[in-house]
Structure 1
Amino acid sequence: MHKPVQWGILGAAKFARQFMGPAIHAASGARLAALATSDPAKAEPFQDFCPDLKVFDDYEALLASPEIEAVYIPLPNHLHVEWSLKALDAGKHVLCEKPITMRAEEFDALIHKRDQTGLLAAEAYMIVHHPQWQHVRDLIADGAIGDLAHVTGAFSFDNRTDTGNIRNRAETGGGGLRDIGVYVIGSARFATGQEPDTVQSAIRWEDGIDAFTEIRAQFPGFTYSAYVSIRMHPHQEMVFHGERGLIRLTAPFNARVFGEARVELHRPGLEVLVTRFPADDHYKLQVEAFYWSVRAGDEYPCPLEFSRGTQAMIDRVFDGATPL
């Protein structure tokens, strides 16, 4: 085992406090060493589970610390590219929350800087690290459902009362598509290895953000339909429907939080085989994959090029959408 990667977090975001901070702290090959926040009170919950955490009062000071090797960036969407580039310039590996960019072409600067510095830079697209998605990809590739005919996806929650949330603010890159559309789109791309030929969409706008988005697409060999909303009852599901079977994921995106991760394989004769994943933590697995890439040179499961493909499809959804 190599020495642990020394991590810092830029900003005391709620998501970092509840999920990624504890995951970094718990992961093998990682040490949560520092947090940057201008409000000392926001650091206290992090220090509850990580008492030796060093707290910086600004982001630049953390990036200047020679102790820190990698940074996790949970800032508002519109700040992701700026601070990812600053971190790479400071010699730090980067794991940045999704969406790491607002448009696909913004990936080019990140990919160039990654290659120039030789550092690891990646979007925190945690689901590809979960074994349920690796299982689904293998099932499809092995022909467990025959030829794939159609994929459906859904992801929704309701945060209309949380008016201060960055997801409800257009100026911070809010809306449902960037926040959760990456899951219904990226997971289909990951599981099938395919890119869409055509994309159609419709969006219901609300104060400058997309509150509901419906997507239809044609991939090579199969059709696709999905919706995302931040104004509907919580729900998530992905279904891969083949000519001789069907794969259904019951908690595809928030495993353990939304419910137990289960992959159902529906086969002829109404037979259903269920594979359960009750304990896997995809946030922790993501940090551990990052460690093996940094320390041992292993291929990272979610490179920037993959994330760029998801953003390119999101761009097509936005650009071609009809209003609802």
Structure 2
Amino acid sequence: MEPVRWGILSTARIGRMKVVPGMMKSSLCAITAVASRSAASAEAMAGELGIPKAYDSYEALLADPDVEAIYNPLPNHLHVPLTLKAAAAGKHVLCEKPIAITAQEAGQLEDASSQVLIAEAFMVRHHPQWQQARDLIRQGGVGEVRAIQVLFSYFNADPSNIRNKADIGGGGLLDIGCYAVVAGRYFFEAEPTRAVVLTDFDPAMAIDRTTSALMDFGAGRQLIFTVSTQMVPYQRVQILGTKGRIEIEIPFNAPPDQPTRILVDDGSVHGGRSARTIEFPALDQYQLQGEAFARAVRGAEPLGYGIQDALMNMRILDALRRSAEAASWQRI
């Protein structure tokens, strides 16, 4: 398969340190250009990673006829505007999560998605540890799944960091709460019907720094999560069924250079001592994500998660924010 030629919008850390290096490992992805509003920044990243072309504006990159697909890791408030510009230029777009700040804003992408491929970059769904866990659920390995618990936290109190700027879509819910939502949807293979939330806001920066939620997926299925941008770094997914439990140890930031594992426990011995381990070799989930998108661009396989999936994520996140404001259950 001919590799898809990619352009990178911005020199954002997530792209420079994780996504682009992962994609560059693949024969299906050719990173041909990077753009920044600063020529020096674009040239520095191009030199660091060996990218052939560096542009001093996003518009110049979008005008490059050699670029077929765009990776958009810009700040949240620029996800939709630049994705629309890329689509208008005939480029397919893999946009960093969250794809928008609100569902209404994300809706602007629907028409464009009929002309080019547009997807939200949830790399976790491409990792074998997630896929194996879901296969076990489908096979009845833990009985009927009744509850999923997600914890995801890190500490970042820097007021200059874009994640701490409320006016451009900062805060923990949009940044990492979206992963908890995706976990519930992925493992239940269903959509939630209602949710209730408790949120603590940073008094100086006005961003949601800690959010806990209870989400009803119907048929007795519940997702419970806590995410925080000002707590000790930690992450875990627990999937509890009527006959067993699956634990994903590093569900979101799976290291690309070390093996990962999930634990499958029938609960016969307290303390998890009856759990068996399924180990996965070191691999890069960003590489797998880029390859899946590239195959979709070439028509080798359909895009697993397109714009409608992203719109549902945003509708759920909207409902969670409404619940935080109203201090009550909200329908989704």
User: Taking structure 1 as the reference length, what is the TM-score of the superposition?
Assistant: 0.94
Q: Pick the aligned partner of 2:209 from 208, 211, 217.
A: 211
Asked if residue 263 in structure 1 is aligned to residue 262 in structure 2, the reply is yes
2:236/2:251 contact within 8 Å kept = yes
Cα 1:300–1:104, aligned 2, differ >3 Å: closer, same or farther?
same
Q: Which amino acid aligns with 2:170?
A: G
Asked if residue 198 in structure 1 is aligned to residue 159 in structure 2, the reply is no
Q: How is 1:141-160 mapped onto 2 (pairs within 5 angstroms)?
A: 141-160=138-157
2:130 alignment partner in structure 1: 133
Shift of 1:301: 2.2
Shift of 1:219: 1.2
- Give per-residue Cα distances to partners, 1:81-123, cap 9 Å, x unaligned: 00001100000010111011111233322122111x1x11111
Shift of 1:49: 4.8
**% identity of equivalent residues:** 38
- Give per-residue Cα distances to partners, 1:190-243, cap 9 Å, x unaligned: 111111122000111122210000101221221221110000000101111111
- Give per-residue Cα distances to partners, 1:118-159, cap 9 Å, x unaligned: x11111111111111111111111111111121111100000
* Structure 2 residue matching 1:133: 3-state secondary structure: helix
1:251/1:260 contact within 8 Å kept = no
1:176/1:229 contact within 8 Å kept = yes
Distance (Å, rounded) in 1 between the aligned partners of 2:249 and 2:147: 17
Distance (Å, rounded) in 1 between the aligned partners of 2:289 and 2:310: 15
User: Gapped runs of 5+ residues in structure 1?
Assistant: none
> Could you list the runs of 4 or more consecutive aligned residues of structure 1 that deviate by over 6 angstroms after TM superposition?
none
User: Gapped runs of 5+ residues in structure 2?
Assistant: 328-332
Distance (Å, rounded) in 1 between the aligned partners of 2:188 and 2:151: 17
- Give per-residue Cα distances to partners, 1:66-94, cap 9 Å, x unaligned: 11101111111011000001100000010
1:34/1:53 contact within 8 Å kept = yes
- Higher mean C-alpha displacement, 125-134 vs 39-48: 39-48
Distance (Å, rounded) in 2 between the aligned partners of 1:24 and 1:32: 8
Shift of 1:273: 1.7
User: Taking structure 2 as the reference length, what is the TM-score of the superposition?
Assistant: 0.92
1:154/1:226 contact within 8 Å kept = yes
Q: Pick the aligned partner of 1:121 from 115, 118, 137.
A: 118
Q: Which amino acid aligns with 2:139?
A: D
Distance (Å, rounded) in 1 between the aligned partners of 2:159 and 2:141: 45
Q: Which amino acid aligns with 1:285?
A: L
Distance (Å, rounded) in 1 between the aligned partners of 2:258 and 2:323: 34
